[in-house]
Structures are given as C-alpha cells and as structure tokens.
Structure 1
C-alpha cells in the first residue's frame, strides 16, 4: 500500500499547483461598462453595517441622512430613492440598493455641491450617536464598485482599500474623559479612471478602476457660501457634533459653558428641539493607468501577499497531518488487516479439515451435538441461528478467530433509528454537492465580488438542484437498512433538514424584524424560498428517491446477518461515543484551523471584505476530506477490533466530530476577538454559527459514514472470498 500513499501525496501537490494558479484566474464580470466624456454616472447607496453588531440598515432608512428627492437624474432610468432589482443572494445578505441624488459626470470635477440640510430631533440624534459609537460604515456603489476608504501600508510601499466609509467618529475630551460624537457630513468623492480597452477606448471611452470616498465633519459655525457649501472645506475648526443642549434656562445658568454634556437621562427628549445637519459633497476625477480594469478589485484584498504566505503554511500543516494519517491507514490495510485475513484463512482451512475428519469417523463415534458447526462453513451458515452456538474447545481452536472477524454476523445489522440516519446522509450529500460546486466555480473566478450576491444565489441554486442526489442516496441507504416505505423516507428527506433550517431562519427573522434591520428577510423573499423548497427541491428529491429505491436498490452486503445479536463486551474509554468523537474531530479541525482564521475574519470582523483565496480553500478542503476519511477508517477499525458492531451512527458522528471543535472555536472567537453588543446581535452570531457548524457537520459526517461503509464492506468481502 506504500505506492498508493505516495501517489496520493503527489495528486494533492498537483491539485495544489493547479488551484493556486486558478486563484489568480479572475473573471471580473459579465461586461465592461465604459463612459464617454460628459456622460452621467449613477451613484447608488446600499446599506450601513458594523463589525460590532450583526444588524444592518438600509442607508435611506436612517433619519439623519439626506432623504431621496424622488427626481430623475441623467444617466439613470430610476428615480432617486427607487430600489433596483436584486437577486436572491443580495436580499439574503441584507443589500438594499437604491438610486441617490448625487450627480457624477465623467471627467467633470465639482468643487462642492450642496446636498441637503437634514432636520433631526433628539431621538434621531440618539440613534446617530449609537451608530457612530458602534462604528457603522456606509456603502455606496459606482459602476459596481463599493466606495472605499484608502490606506497605505506602514512602509508606504503599497496602497489598499477598505470598503465603506465611517458615518462619524468619537472624540474623547482631555481631562474630563467624556466622549463626544461627530457626524461626517461632507463627502469627497474620487473617481479613478483610465482608457477603456478595445474599440471603446479608441472612441474615447473611459472605464472606472477606483471609487474612493473621503469624509469630513463640518460644523454649523463654518463659513458657508450662498449655495450652502462650506467656503473652505480644508480648514475646519469646529466639526458637526451630535449634540443638542437642553432648552431649560436652569441649565444655561448652572452650566454657562457648553463643555458639559449632561447624560441622556437628564435631557428632555420630547421638548421639540431640533438640529440642522448640512450635507455636501465634492467630486474629483483622476486618471490612473497603473490599475487594470480586470484587477480593480485587488486593492480591496487587504495584505494579499502576506496572507498568501500564511495560506501556504496552512496547506503544509494540512499535508503533514494528512500524510501521517495516510501512513497509519496504509499500515492498517497493508499489515494488520492482511494479517488478520491470513490468520482467518489458516483457521478456516484447519476447521474444514477437522470437519472432514468428523465426517469419516467410524460407526459408534459421537455425532455432533445440536448447535455445533464447523468453522469452515461459518460464513455459509451465519444466517442460520440454529447452528450459531459455540464450538467446544477440544474440537475447534477458536482463539485464532478474534476481533473484527467475530462480527461477520452482526456488522451489517441495521442501526437503531436508521430511518433518520438515511435522510441525514442524503442531506449531507446535498450539501457536499453544493460545497464542491461553489468551490470549483469560485476557484475558476466565475464567482467573484463583481457579481454581488452571486455566491449565495448560486449556492442556493446548487442546493435545490442537489435534491436529486439527496433523494438518491437517502433512498439507497434506507433500503439497505431494510426500509420499505420509500415515499415516507422521501418526505422525511425533503423536509427534515431544510424544514429545520427554514424554521430557525424564520424565528431569527422575527427578532431582526423588531429592529427594523435590512438583515430581516422581506415577506416576499420568504414566500419565494418556500416555493423553491416545496415545488422544486421536493419534486427533485422525489425523483432521486424513486430512482434509488426502485431502479438501483440497496447495496449488497458480503455477509449475512444473524437473527440474534451477539453480546457486546465492555469498551475502553477512548472508543466510547463522546470521547472518540471529540478525539477524532480534533485532527480534521487542526487541518482547517489556519484557513478558518481567514474565513472568520471575512465573515465576522470585516463584513465589507471579500474572501478571495478560494484556490487555497479548495486545496485545504480536499485535504480535509481525505483526513476525515482516514480518521474514520482508523476509529471504526479500532471499534470493530473491540468487538463492537454499532458503527453506523458512530461513523457519522466521527466524520462530523470536527464541527464540535469549530463551534467551540466560535465561542472562543466571540469572547476574545469580537466586540458584538446587544442581545439580538449575540443571538444572531451564535445562531448563525450553530447553523453553519450543523451544515458542516452534516457534510463531513456523510463523508465519514460512506467511507466507513466502503471500508467495512471491503474487509468483510475479503474474508468471504476465502
């Protein structure tokens, strides 16, 4: 088996090279949009979000920003404030993209343009303070690029972007230590462009390669022009503070200087006081030939070069762990199992010769007692319970037949609650198909940030289509367990996991609805998901179940199962259910741990960021699958050697054991790395984490189950062939 081991490592290295180059292959979008000089460019506003909370809000739902005027601007077919059509993935990720009143014209700079003066009351100010405190950032969109805040590295050798821009900032007074909150109410928009490729460029077309937004807080004391714009936006002495002094005369007498800000509880929020917040913006177009249009998203990938080195470290770590497990499996298959089978052959041959001697005994010799049997006919008679009795020690040397070989009559006994295991395996195959499809398409560059919401939309489509595979594998496993009601199994398969998932999402949605967050799914979207589930996925599950149950049938087992199960001996602590699942799950978790850091940072700490290294993730996923398969073989072999034939559910739990460690890591990550505040945000974090870990555990558990099943069939087929 050693050559097989070296071939496997070689294949992994080839995959590694292929996917690492595939990571650089990038399809930026379906078409390149070019603009001629003087052509209007629409600016869209989307949402605001924060790394400190899981609640997002539509930009125009905020009471302290300029509301849309409802006018139609050149370059757009929509009225300002009108929502553009979104795909399912965009809706699920909380996008609410609408047309704005900000006007951009290719090549025309605007020194300053007044947007509006928004009147806010104390309640609106209070909400604005909370959002500034939580670090909310806003997302605007130009030519499918999110507005970015520009940064440079410490050595000033490289520039990079962080999507979005801050709504405001907090300043702490020296001495008193009191915090003051300021709103950013002037936006400097920088559009970077270059000559369009091909014939469009020859005709004067320009393409946008960068969209930067720089914010500033300008207070009411600043001198302003007649149009409302600040006279000098570069020299600002007083920023726009989110504060309204109490109207009472007692406060003016007691606190003649405005440096003291009383707590909210001391203020009368219903006194009718208001604050005017003026908004303005500037626009500058800058030509930049250093950025290719196909690489304009690269600046959003923070610390790409350094991250790549860490990803390589993750792959090397995964290869080492998988290589050690491969060596262990090779030893098991090449030495231990072969030695066991050879000893079984010798004992079988000796049993046959003794049977022949008994058959030739002279008259008057003792006839076999009822219940005795020959070792040579053991496999042929394992289904006959009348002959399943122990052979006397003076006739048959049974000490040579030990361990897993004694379980030939019980190893394929149908497990308890097999009617639940079969649908879980089917759903796991459904998730596996979805995951493989997403990784493959993302590694090729077909799913990338330019297709907003494409990853989620394609994932849902693959999941729905994979209902065929879910029904097929579920029905075959169900029939292998001896099930007869395939329609009932079809309903359970189609409703169990998707139904629980939808119920949990709907329950979470109720909490989010109360917060008026754009994270909440609209009622129409919920209806659309239900229709996809019941009228597309469920019929596909039915088709797959019918074909798997009626046309293909169950898997054939190499040995027959006895009617009465054998008694289980006591098991060592490390092979018992919870202990072995935790121990086995720790190894696959170590394989994905480094890559998991990047995934969690993209999901929870940098919601505006885009996970882009799908090539590395694909390689680590392949190594993860191999590791799960190998560790499941080792654990199930040890379990069978301990004469425990209850391996069906155990193999499923061992395969999915790493999901427990991932969830433990989520808990640790929440308390040590995140600064999420509020009950709803915390609930969303742990609920989404539980859903993600359950899906991951279902997928990996299915891999473990099918691997163990193939392994068990193989070794018992070998002893039957003898």
Structure 2
C-alpha cells in the first residue's frame, strides 16, 4: 500500500510540472469567419473562469494580461491562463496563436506585431502543453482603473515580406485571442473590402492599428473585458511595399455591480442560450425517446419469445416421444466453450473496463464543475492522471478473465493489455507529432513533455497494471458455467448471409449510434470548432442511454445467434457491442466533408488520426459492455432450464 500511495503522489506531482513550450510560425490556412464573428458580437463570450485568489488589485496595478494572437475563423480558440505562481496583479502578458483547428496553433509573434524588448515565456503544466497552449509576454499595459487614450504601442516599418504575411492573415480571417485576468476575448486583425473608387472587382486589405479595451470592475475585482478594433484606424496593406504603421490602444474602465463569483456564469450562458438550449434538449429527448421505444419494443418481443421457449423446453422434458433437437437449449454443451485467442480476448475486456471507468470518472468531474469553460488543460490533465490510476483495473480484469479461461501465460497477457490501447495511441501520436513539427505548430509536444508522459507510463501506469494483474492472479476463481461443456464442439449449421458477423455488427451499431448522433454534432463542434460545450448533464444522460442500448441490442443479437445454434457468441458479442465505434468513425467522414471547412494535410491528419484512437477506445469500451451483458443473459437463460 505504501508503494501505491507513493506512486499516486508522484503522479500528481508530475502532472503539475511546468513544461517549457516551444513553437514557431507557418503559413496560415483559410477557414470561414461566421462563427468567430458571432463570438465577437456577443459580450457573453468574453467572460470565462478565473482563479479567485488572483484578482483583487489596487490602483495602478496590472492584473494578469494574456494574449492569444491571430487565428482563423473555423474553430474554437485556444485558452490561456496566467502563471499561477506569480503575484496577483503582476504585469505579465501572454501571447498565443491559433490557426484553423485547435491543434494547428501558432505563436503570437509569428506575425510581425509589436513586441516587448524582452519576451517572457510562461512555463505551463502538463495539461496546458497537451492542450497546445504556448504563452509569451504581450506588449499591452492595462493598469487597474487607469484609463488610456490612443496610447502608442510602437511604430513599425513593415517590410514587403511582413506586409504579405499580414495580408495573407487578413485574407484568411485571422483573429487574435487575448486574456486579461483569465478572461478571454477576441478581435480581428483586419478586414477585406471592395475598392469602389478604383475597381469594384478589386479588394483592399486593411490592417487594424488600434485596439480599444473596455474593462468592467467591481471594487478591486475585474469582472469582464471586451475588445474593439476600430475599422477607421487602419493601414492599407494591399500592395507589396513597405508600410509605416503606428499601433495604438485605448483602455476604458467601467464600474459594474456584477459580483465576482458570478462573472463566469455569463460566459457559460453564451454556450447555452435559452433558445439553443431548448432546441438541444428537444432534439436529445426526441432521439432518446425514439430509441428507448424501439428498445422497449424489441425487449417485449424478446421476453415473449423467451417465455415461449421456456414453455416449449419444459414440455419437451415431460414428453416421452423422441423429438428432434433444435434451438438454443440444445447447444448447452458448447455455449460456454471458451473462445479462441484467449489472451487477446482478455486484454480487450481489461482495456475496455479501464476505459469505461475512465469515462465515468471524467463525467463525475465534469458534473461537479471541474471542467468549467477555459480551465485550460484540466481535461487533458484529468485524462492522463485518471488513465494512469485506473490501469490497475485493466490488469486485474484482464488477468482474472484470462485465468478463468484457463490461460497459462498471464504475464504475456498483461503485456498485451498494457499495449492494446496505448500502443496504437502512441504510434498515432508519433506520426501526428512529426507532422506538427514539420508545420511548426504548437501542437508539437516539446521533449520535456514527452519525457514526463513516458515517466508517468513507466513509473505509475505500468506498476499499477502489474499490481492489478497480481491481484487478479491471487483472486483466481473458476468460470461459473451452469452447463458442462462437451469434449468436441458441435458443428454450426449453414446460416444465411445476414447472420454473418458484418451484417450483425451493422445492425448492432445502428441503434446505439442513433441515440447519440445528435449529441455528436455538439461535441464535434466543441472539440473541432468554436462552440463551447458546458451542458455535461445532457452528455451524461446520453452516455448512460448509450450503455443501456448497447447492452440490450447485443443481448438480443446474442439470443438470435444462439437460437440458430451458433454457439460462437463470445467474440461476436464484443464485435457487435463495439460496432458503435465504427459508426462514430463513419460520422467523422460525414462531418469532415459536409459540416466542416477543414483542409490541409495537418488538419486532416489530426482529425482522422485522433478520432481513430477515440473511436477505437469506444470500440473497446462498448465491446466490453456488450460481452458482459451477453454473459449475464446467457448464464441466466441456461440456469432456467435443465441441462444434462
């Protein structure tokens, strides 16, 4: 127990380490501007979470100011946070750049903006680095309750190359994201307009030179901050020539009666406006009711069929006449015959059980409010920590199941369990991290972060996996089968094509997928777009319905499989239960081509690469649910009859 406690303490210490982040520039890809324009026109979107202890300031002090720079319009902006180790009202400011997709982010000073004499970089914790956040010092000075008017930031002579770079950013709807005292806000770099005087078919590219900050405060607390860019104060960057530009900013402080404790509520409402929330709930309820009605209808039919089977088999036992054996009763000597590839089968169940536990813990944290909007890196930190701590569940489940199936090499089974999910994920990460390095995106993890993750896997995940395996070995129990297994397997009769594995998987995955496909849009729009997801209660309800529907549809298909005397249901139940993951990946294809404007090799590879890992995780998790439900069902029906 002391060893386990030490490992847990080490894990939490490591997950909080500050990791030096790096990043550089790259050409910028085009995306649409409508979503961010919607954000920029809504004040509600400019309020986010903050740390309560870091916000009371005195006159002339500078609350923490962060800047996320130029980004394109398609996807959700990355969030920034101030250094938690600095004093409450320090003057540090942080810059960051996001392009097109959350993974494709770049540094603020990759574009030729005004920069401080000495740029300071923030050391971020593990979750922030995994989130792609890279913060550097920003040039603006917003002293507490000190108004400024047309304060000169800097005067620059933009070279031809810099003008071309900025023009490309304006053309592709880049915008910046800033943070002040943990509050995010956004603004455009410039605009494109028709040159009516010269040629209506020609366009002018204008770069905004002035930014105006409106800051709301209550006593010594910063409550809200908004930013405005002045279209009338711009410089023409249409032509490839040197341009003289003077960048300025203004600050206006306004008092408000909004309490500090409620400044986050307004931001949360931005992602769940009443009309949108009503439509969201209606869509989810409509989908869930439809699925549950279909499930209930199928359950009623199944129960009646089972009742008739029990009556029939009880009459057969009382009858003295010889009858031809048929149906699920007469394969009782084969139905509990252990499956092929026992080690892989046990590893699937172990990994699936761990991922199910991981999902439940994540939902628990989300429901208690841990993942509030723009709590940067909290989700990634939780995923790493909880996955490491639940590895013992995988080891225990896999080893105990493997030994129940009369396996002999439990050590090899344990190694397979540890690599079954982490292996494909690691290979995918290596490829995508290489892509990010080539693109010079901040999604490329620095060596220090990779080393920290490897240390967690080596010193926490692996030992807990081994301890779980040892516990499973020591608590070995016999497989509880209500019927004896015959020495030789019974021959499976010829079956029609729709009784095959692939058609059965298609039928098994469709109903659970139909219960979640509406919610998938909101999740995808949050992960790969601008939308901010805060209604975790809906997501949890949908997840529970997914588990229930998956379990039942797998049970139903298992019964129909046994009814035609096909006793090889072990692997079939796993494949049918996990087939929803295949449907989700199919939805990825639809979302990519029909609902998003993603383009370019990096965006495409990140989207399909990481979604493949997520869908694979769903396959393992739901496959485990399907098998466990089928096992309970099969044991129940065979206990209900007399088996010779």
TM-score range, shorter chain: 0.7 to 0.9
1:634 aligns with 2:556: yes
2:190 counterpart (148, 168, 179): 168
2:617 counterpart (687, 695, 699): 695
2:132 counterpart (94, 102, 125): 94
1:280 counterpart (244, 248, 272): 248
CA shift in 2, pair 1:721/1:328, >3 Å: same
CA shift in 2, pair 1:548/1:685, >3 Å: same
Give me the TM-score of the superposition, normalised by structure 2: 0.83
Aligned to 1:255: none
User: Is the CA contact 1:210–1:296 (under 8 Å) kept in the aligned structure 2?
Assistant: no
Aligned to 1:326: 296
Aligned to 1:242: 237
Aligned-pair CA distance for 1:575:
2.5
User: Is the CA contact 1:410–1:645 (under 8 Å) kept in the aligned structure 2?
Assistant: yes
User: Is the CA contact 1:49–1:56 (under 8 Å) kept in the aligned structure 2?
Assistant: no
1:127 aligns with 2:165: yes
User: Is the CA contact 1:47–1:96 (under 8 Å) kept in the aligned structure 2?
Assistant: no
- 1:450-497 CA distances to partner (integer Å, 9 max, x unpaired)? 522112211221111110111111112222332111111111111221
Aligned-pair CA distance for 1:51:
4.4
CA shift in 2, pair 1:42/1:31, >3 Å: closer
Tell me, in whole angstroms, the C-alpha distance in 2 between the residues paired with 1:144 and 1:709: 50
* Structure whose CA Rg is larger: 1
Tell me, in whole angstroms, the C-alpha distance in 2 between the residues paired with 1:171 and 1:417: 65
Give me the TM-score of the superposition, normalised by structure 1: 0.74
1:572 aligns with 2:509: no
1:337 counterpart (306, 309, 312): 306
The equivalences for 1:13-412 within 5 A come to: 31=53, 33-46=55-68, 48-52=70-74, 53-54=100-101, 56-70=104-118, 81-147=119-185, 164-174=186-196, 175-195=199-219, 206-216=220-230, 235-236=232-233, 239-245=234-240, 274-290=242-258, 293-299=261-267, 301-313=270-282, 314-333=284-303, 335-350=304-319, 397-399=322-324, 401-412=325-336
Tell me, in whole angstroms, the C-alpha distance in 1 between the residues paired with 2:289 and 2:124: 41
Tell me, in whole angstroms, the C-alpha distance in 2 between the residues paired with 1:587 and 1:598: 19
Aligned-pair CA distance for 1:720:
4.5
Aligned-pair CA distance for 1:559:
1.8
Tell me, in whole angstroms, the C-alpha distance in 1 between the residues paired with 2:565 and 2:255: 74
What SS does structure 1 have at the residue aligned with 2:142?
strand
1:459 counterpart (378, 383, 387): 383
Q: Which moved more, 1:441-450 or 1:531-540?
A: 441-450
- 1:251-304 CA distances to partner (integer Å, 9 max, x unpaired)? xxxxxxxxxxxxxxxxxxxxxx64444322111111222565324353362452
Q: Which runs of 5+ in 2 are unaligned?
A: 1-47, 75-99
What SS does structure 2 have at the residue aligned with 1:177?
strand
Q: Which runs of 5+ in 1 are unaligned?
A: 1-25, 71-80, 148-163, 196-205, 218-234, 246-272, 355-395
- 1:331-360 CA distances to partner (integer Å, 9 max, x unpaired)? 424x3223323332332344xxx6xxxxxx
User: Is the CA contact 1:47–1:57 (under 8 Å) kept in the aligned structure 2?
Assistant: no
CA shift in 2, pair 1:30/1:283, >3 Å: closer
CA shift in 2, pair 1:710/1:145, >3 Å: same
- 1:178-222 CA distances to partner (integer Å, 9 max, x unpaired)? 444332332111111223xxxxxxxxxx222212111235xxxxx
Tell me, in whole angstroms, the C-alpha distance in 2 between the residues paired with 1:68 and 1:716: 76
Aligned to 2:18: none
- 1:378-408 CA distances to partner (integer Å, 9 max, x unpaired)? xxxxxxxxxxxxxxxxxx6233x42111221
- 1:617-646 CA distances to partner (integer Å, 9 max, x unpaired)? 111111111111111111111111111112
1:426 aligns with 2:350: yes
Aligned-pair CA distance for 1:30:
5.9
- 1:533-572 CA distances to partner (integer Å, 9 max, x unpaired)? 1221111111111112221435322222222211111223
2:404 counterpart (480, 488, 503): 480
1:655 aligns with 2:580: no
User: Is the CA contact 1:169–1:181 (under 8 Å) kept in the aligned structure 2?
Assistant: yes
Q: How many aligned positions are there? A: 567
Tell me, in whole angstroms, the C-alpha distance in 2 between the residues paired with 1:298 and 1:575: 54
- 1:133-176 CA distances to partner (integer Å, 9 max, x unpaired)? 332322211111112xxxxxxxxxxxxxxxx2223332344555
Aligned to 1:229: none
CA shift in 2, pair 1:692/1:168, >3 Å: farther
Aligned to 1:202: none
1:559 aligns with 2:520: no
User: Is the CA contact 1:180–1:241 (under 8 Å) kept in the aligned structure 2?
Assistant: yes
Tell me, in whole angstroms, the C-alpha distance in 2 between the residues paired with 1:40 and 1:299: 23
1:492 counterpart (416, 419, 422): 416
CA shift in 2, pair 1:126/1:651, >3 Å: farther
Tell me, in whole angstroms, the C-alpha distance in 1 between the residues paired with 2:524 and 2:565: 41
Tell me, in whole angstroms, the C-alpha distance in 2 between the residues paired with 1:714 and 1:662: 32
Aligned-pair CA distance for 1:34:
1.8
